[in-house]
Structure 1
Amino acid sequence: MALKNLQLSLQFGQLADAAPHRAALPRAQVARWIRHALALDAEITVRIVDAEEGRTLNRDYRQKDYATNVLTFDYTQEPVVTADLVLCAPVVAKEALDNGKSLRDHYAHLLVHGTLHAQGWDHETSEADADAMEAREIEILAGLGFANPYA
């Protein structure tokens, strides 16, 4: 299967400790991870934010008053996927540490996860949908050389 075209904007917000996040997210790698999860061409912005910005966005758009690992704002799914993926650096770093994963590996998983959300995949609608999305994530990540993030 040919990889889809991707117009990528990679942004870093005001992070107190941006260096490890920038090191874990080289633009070419971010594009590769996202392209492997795409079924259609896409225009995607990836923004790495601090806890305050992450919490504000989650509160304002999902009515959940805490910073979460990844938020997907999907605008169109056809003919081109357009979306913003917002990843909260301190949450991603804590989850990676707590789960014994590298920051790079966890970012790759969350970018694949968010990209699937941008295309209509949803793990909150039913157990079957959650299982299907998880299986697709595992398949994509394996193709990229990553271990099963759920194991």
Structure 2
Amino acid sequence: MEIDILIEDDRWNSLDFNGLVEKALAASFLHLGIDAEAAEISVLACDDTRIATLNGEFRSKPVATNVLSWPAASLAPDVAGGTPFPVLPGPDGSLALGDIAIAYDTCAREAAELHKSMADHVTHLVVHGTLHLLGYDHVRDPDATLMQRIETEILGKLGLDDPY
């Protein structure tokens, strides 16, 4: 697994951020039957200011959010609630998945509001962002039901409670 992690906000260093990301990705790939060794992904650990800028640039919503994802390819199913299309390997066999950005301020606030540890909440959000890279979404109700079920299954295998 090739993970490019960029930590822009030093507060992330209070967690084992790299370890949390690796654990969440490995569990997600194992659950979905994806070759983790071939996977390539980038993760940006930033603050609310940076994620608000990214959210404004890419989604025309200039406000902070917890996690953003930029899939390398559109894998979303045509039918609501359907399984996303599989990730196709590149010529070298790699699976370029895309990029995730996660904001410390929003994650810390949400974790406190939910009475969860920061590590558990960040793990959930990395799983959530990874599923977005793999074509899962929560805009349509059937898609949200599928995505939430898969998130809950992955988190359960990691010993974490159902976030929903």
Task: Answer whether TM exceeds 0.5 for this pair.
Answer: yes
Does 1:63 pair with 2:60?
yes
SS in 1 for 2:146: helix
CA deviation map 1:46-65 (0-9, x unaligned): 11111111110000000111
Contact 1:123 1:133 in 2 (8 A): yes
* Matches for 1:91-106 after TM superposition, within 5 Å: 91-106=106-121
Give the superposition deviation at 1:23: 3.0
1:85 to 90, 100, 104: 100
Per the alignment, residue 31 of structure 1 pairs with 22
SS in 2 for 1:134: helix
Q: Which moved more, 1:31-40 or 1:108-117?
A: 31-40
Q: Which moved more, 1:36-45 or 1:104-113?
A: 36-45
Aligned residues: 140
The answer to which structure, 1 or 2, has the higher relative contact order (CA under 8 A, 6+ apart) is: 2
SS in 2 for 1:108: helix
TM (norm. structure 2) is: 0.80
| Alpha-carbon distance in 2 for matches of 1:69, 1:26 | 15
Amino acid at match of 1:22: N
Amino acid at match of 1:33: A
CA deviation map 1:33-92 (0-9, x unaligned): 112112434111111111111110000000111011000011133221421110011011
Structure 2 gap segments, 5+ residues each = 74-86, 90-94
Q: Which moved more, 1:61-70 or 1:22-31?
A: 22-31
| Alpha-carbon distance in 1 for matches of 2:96, 2:23 | 16
TM (norm. structure 1) is: 0.86
| Alpha-carbon distance in 2 for matches of 1:28, 1:50 | 19
Aligned identity (percent) is 34
Q: Could you list the runs of 4 or more consecutive aligned residues of structure 1 that deviate by over 3 angstroms after TM superposition?
A: none
| Alpha-carbon distance in 2 for matches of 1:28, 1:65 | 30
